[in-house]
Homo-oligomer: A and B are copies of this chain.
Amino acid sequence: MTKPPRKQASSLGTDLQLAANALRLKRLGIDTHQEAVIYMREDSPICRAEGFAGQTRIRVENAAGKVLVATLNLVTTELLARGEAGLSEMAWSSLDARENDLIRVSHPRPVESLGHLRSKIFGEGLNEQNLTAIVTDIRAGRYSDIELSAFVTACTAHALDLEETVAMTKAMVASGEKLDWGHRPIVDKHCVGGLPGNRTTPIVVAIATAAGLTMPKTSSRAITSPAGTADVMETLAPVALDLATMRRVVNDVGGCIAWGGSVNLSPVDDVLIRVERALNIDGDGQLVASVLSKKVAAGSSHLVLDIPVGPTAKVRDVAHAKRLSQRLSSVSAVVGLNVRIRLTDGQQPVGHGIGPALEARDILAVLQRKPSAPSDLEERALQLAGDLLELSGTAADGAGTVMARGILDDGRAWQSFESICEAQGGMRAPPVAAQRHPVFASRNGFLTGIDNRRLAKIAKLAGAPFEPAAGLDLHLRIGSRVSTEAPLFTLHAQSIGERDYALEYLETQPNIFTIEDEACPR
């Protein structure tokens, strides 16, 4: 083959002002969610010279040599002057851009890992090298939303096997920061979500740190649920801690409850979670890789896992729970984590509140030993805290829960929790929703079943987790006597639009609550 003519790459980053294909940035202030988008005039000479056209991905480089790949949106009006380009807010901040900065645009190299993605779509397996290439390209922002969606979908359609899950976990760890605390044990807990209100983490962290353990807890925001632990905790204290702050907090008070995304642990996970949330899917392999990569990156050595099992929880039956446990144990062993897995009752929501602020209120009630504290939330937290005390060698086998209860009862846990909130930036009161609407049962009887999924959907339609005060407050539990005179639950929303939106959906779903003549007909 002939040599290609002079490579364009040679002048990159050196004399950008003089280089061809330079454009001046104008801040349009368009937030496209996490997709990097570049806005260019349709009639710009660069578009013509480079042959940029619809659906094109563009390589953008600034004067400091920082590079990203963005999707091209063409502008047909005077929104941009000649010689100007805009960036979506995500692209703007990832280039640390300022008004009138010069950038240079060019064709990106073909993203080779898209070939692996296509293989996966057609059902071929991915090895560690393939997955590392994919994760590296996602990390570098080289995947468009369409490509990210295809990756998430393909990994759900052809579930990641053990080897792929291990490789994905390692690749995700390698793509971000990894913490080293200089000592062991570093304890952690995680709930494989899906059960509304199951917000034991802040209580477990409070107990564990009060017992002298180090627990630098990072949590996700909600994927497909009305609240993630980070969303709940954020109503009580800042959670978007940078790495330095997180280190300081943990050194000072023994633990933290931070949002994983802002400390840059496993950053690819946050990109995938955004797409998983949009699609409302969350396959086992991705789930394991997501959970364990965060733990390894956080420097954890000992991990307790809570898997709620119930007909409308994320894990619907014991067979699935066992497969998932097996996968979690196998991958943990390979990546060097000690785990204990507990299957818990996933029949109905835990506590009263569903939604960030309402769940935070329940947590405070438990820690402050209020009579209104939901006992199911308390019991679950004590059990998991006990497991952690035993797994880490702090309590003898079988004595963990009793030790945990002592720490909760004598106020040390609450004290610990207050210290953590203060260290994270100051404790605050969870917000209360502007709209509160009681919902009544259509008949008298006994509550014999709750559809967690559709109940969670009501909370989401009411605005959770984006509106932290939104969600719902359950007044009854399975086995309770139900009357048409007392509300089943109270819907909380910040706006009338959201309240009505949730209520309209509720109207079409008469069977979220099963009400029968006998308390336990089966």
**Which residues of chain B are within 8 angstroms of A154 by Cβ–Cβ distance?**
153, 157
Given A49-B497, A278-B146, A54-B76 contact (CB < 8 Å): no
Most chain B CB within 10 A, of A74, A114, A152, A278, is at A278
How many Å lie between the Cα of A204 and that of B39 in the bound state? 43
**Which residues of chain B are within 8 angstroms of A494 by Cβ–Cβ distance?**
51
Which of A117-125, A168-176, A178-186, A397-405 sits within the interface?
A117-125
Q: Judging by beta carbons under 8 Å apart, are A281 and B118 in contact?
A: yes
How many Å lie between the Cα of A160 and that of B466 in the bound state? 37
Given A153-B154, A157-B122, A498-B50, A506-B1 contact (CB < 8 Å): yes
**A517 beta carbon closer than 8 Å to chain B:** no
Given A75-B31, A149-B153, A157-B123, A55-B278 contact (CB < 8 Å): yes
**Which residues of chain B are within 8 angstroms of A89 by Cβ–Cβ distance?**
76
Q: Judging by beta carbons under 8 Å apart, are A466 and B54 in contact?
A: yes
**Which residues of chain B are within 8 angstroms of A440 by Cβ–Cβ distance?**
1-2
How many Å lie between the Cα of A439 and that of B470 in the bound state? 65
Which of A22-30, A62-70, A410-418, A424-432 sits within the interface?
A22-30
**A507 beta carbon closer than 8 Å to chain B:** yes
**A317 beta carbon closer than 8 Å to chain B:** no
How many Å lie between the Cα of A89 and that of B77 in the bound state? 11
Chain B residue with minimal CB distance to A278? Answer: B146
Interface bits A436-449 vs B (CB < 8 Å: 1, else 0): 01111110000000
| Option from B29, B53, B110 in Cβ contact (under 8 Å) with A76 | B29
Q: Which residues, 20 to 56 on A, are CB-close (under 8 Å) to B?
A: 21, 27-33, 39, 42, 48-51, 53-55
Most chain B CB within 10 A, of A118, A437, A501, is at A501
**A467 beta carbon closer than 8 Å to chain B:** yes
**A98 beta carbon closer than 8 Å to chain B:** no
Chain B residue with minimal CB distance to A151? Answer: B153
| A277 vs chain B, min Cβ distance (A) | 7
**Which residues of chain B are within 8 angstroms of A280 by Cβ–Cβ distance?**
114, 118
| A98 vs chain B, min Cβ distance (A) | 14
Chain B residue with minimal CB distance to A506? Answer: B1
Q: Judging by beta carbons under 8 Å apart, are B31 and A107 in contact?
A: no
Those 5 A-B pairs whose CB atoms lie nearest each other, nearest first: A29-B77, A157-B157, A4-B503, A149-B149, A29-B76
Residues of A within 8 A of B (CB): 1-5, 7-8, 21, 27-33, 39, 42, 48-51, 53-55, 73-77, 79, 88-89, 106-107, 110, 114, 118, 121-123, 144-150, 152-154, 156-158, 274-275, 277-281, 437-442, 461, 463, 466-467, 470, 493-501, 503-507, 510
30 A-B Cβ contacts within 8 A? A1-B439, A1-B442, A3-B507, A4-B503, A5-B499, A5-B503, A28-B79, A30-B73, A30-B74, A30-B75, A30-B76, A31-B54, A49-B497, A51-B493, A51-B498, A55-B277, A55-B278, A118-B280, A121-B156, A121-B157, A121-B279, A121-B281, A122-B281, A146-B275, A147-B279, A149-B153, A150-B152, A150-B279, A153-B153, A157-B158
